[in-house]
Amino acid sequence: MVLYNKTKNTVLSRDLKKITGFSESARGLLDSSNPRSIMLKTRFGIHTFSMKEAIDVLVIDKNFVVRRVRSSLKPFRFFFWNPIYPYVVELPAGSIGTSKTSEGDILQIVG
């Protein structure tokens, strides 16, 4: 699937995978069978323990509006947000800057 920033008319990812199960969610990007871009439903935070490299993170609401942005979240860190926002997108570091994505942008999944 393609993750598209409608506000900026840019592409964030061409290989986004929606993670649905708990076990898949718990492994996230640590699972080598997953692509480098994933979207999952979670309540309030993620961690980057055991990651080898930094990632970019977007927190989005139910209408796919970006509510929090975190560029280059380093390994062995936590990232928390307001639990009213149900989705998080984990991307390769640099994706946010390249796409010029910022809080308030509207995203769309195509494909």
User: pLDDT tens digits, residue range 18-74?
Assistant: 887 655 555 554 555 544 799 999 878 888 888 889 999 999 999 999 999 999 999
pTM for this model (two decimals): 0.87
What CATH number does residue 32 fall under?
2.60.120.1140
If one counts the domains in the chain, the total is 1
Nearest to 102 by CA among 17, 14, 4, 5: 5
Give the span between the Cα atoms of 76 and 86, in whole angstroms.
23
Structural domain that includes position 28: 2-110
